[in-house]
Structure formats: C-alpha cells, structure tokens
Structure 1
Amino acid sequence: MRVRSALVYTVLRLAAFLVPFGLMMLSPLLREYYWLSAIFAALIGLSLSTLFLRRPLDDLSADLASRRRRTVTDEDVEDAATESAGESADR
C-alpha cells in the first residue's frame, strides 16, 4: 500500500472537519456549546468528503485492494503443496 494515498486522504478528511469546527468556534454562541459545533462540523465534513474527496478515496481503495490480492491465502499454499507433491511423484 502506498502510504501517500492514505496520508493524503486522512489529512483531507481531518481538514474537512477541523476547518468548519474552527470557524464555528469563532462564534461566541457556538463556543459555549462546543459539542454542537463538533456535531455540525462532523456533518459538514462528511458532506464535503462525500462531494469532493472521491478521487483520494478511490486511490486508497485501489491500493488496499491490490495489497489484499497480493497476500498469500491457505488455498494458495495448499495448491502449491499439491503441485509440488504431484511433480515429485512423477519423478
């Protein structure tokens, strides 16, 4: 997995939350109810990431899928053992 794609997506998701949260904390009313600011910032961040972060998410998903395909499964090990046993029996 490329670390860059995971890092880019993580930083952009954090920015999508922290920027609206910081802007709302500038308001005296929302500063008093910081938990309400956090909820609104989470909803705004979710909306922004859904709309604008499709490409970084696709890159991250493709990297994770390629990493998963490269892992060796039990079936692969058993197939290799069966093939090597068949070859040694032929000799």
Structure 2
Amino acid sequence: MKTSRTWVVYSLIRVGLFAVVLAILLLTQMTPWIAAAVAAVISLCASYIFLRKPREQLAQGLYEARHGEGKVPARAPEKAGSDEENEDAVVDGDPAPRS
C-alpha cells in the first residue's frame, strides 16, 4: 500500500473512532468539553492498541520515503562511545579517561 493511502486510511480510522466515542459520550448527556477530552483519550488508547498494523505500515512507508526504497536495516547492538567510557572511568575511580 502506498504511504499516502496508508496515511489517509489510518487517519480516517482514528478520526472515525474518535467520532464514535464522542457520539456515545454525548448521548449519555456528558458535558461536551469533558466528553471531547475523554473521547480523545479513549480513542488514542484504542488506536494504539488495535491499530498496530496500519501504524507499522505507515512508519515503514515513511522510513522508505526518507531513506530510499530499501528495507529497514536490522538494528546493530550499540557500542560504548567515548561518553560511556568516560563515565565508566569516573565510576571505576580511574584518574584519566580511556581513549
């Protein structure tokens, strides 16, 4: 699926979810501004839990648009940099940092 289409579908699903929750809360005679705030929180949580696949497709498409059409590389384990070495030297009590 193209990134622009994925973006539109994901956004429409999230807006629709918000609208449904807001309508339900307004039908329960809740104060409108409180209903909007509660609907925003509920729809955010629900979209985070239930819309994982579209969110990952969107992230993949954005990555490919930014870095070319290649696949997302596997993350290499992080190596200790000079900051970590200096911190370790201080914690260990060494007077001079390692280079």
**TM-score between both structures, scaled by the size of structure 2:** 0.63
Aligned residue in 2 for 1:40: 38
SS at match of 1:46: helix
Which ranges of 4 or more aligned residues in structure 1 deviate by more than 2 Å?
Answer: none
Q: Which runs of 5+ in 1 are unaligned?
A: 71-91
Contact 1:13 1:45 survives alignment (8 Å): yes
Aligned residue in 2 for 1:12: 13
Match of 2:50 among 46, 49, 52: 52
Report % sequence identity: 31
Aligned residue in 2 for 1:2: 3
Contact 1:9 1:57 survives alignment (8 Å): yes
Question: What RMSD over aligned residues (CA atoms) do the two structures have, in Å?
Answer: 1.1
**Aligned mates of 2:66, 2:16 — CA distance in 1:** 28
**Aligned mates of 1:18, 1:69 — CA distance in 2:** 35
CA deviation digits over 1:20-76, x for unaligned, max 9?
001111122x1xx10100111011101111110000000000000000013xxxxxx
Aligned pairs (5 A) from 1:15-30: 15-28=16-29, 30=30
The one-letter amino acid paired with 1:21 is L
CA deviation digits over 1:2-36, x for unaligned, max 9?
211101110111112111001111122x1xx1010
The one-letter amino acid paired with 2:60 is A
Aligned residue in 2 for 1:88: none
Q: Which has the higher contact order (CA 8 A, sep 6+)?
A: 1
The answer to which structure has the higher helix fraction is 1
Name the stretch that deviates more: 9-18 or 56-65.
9-18
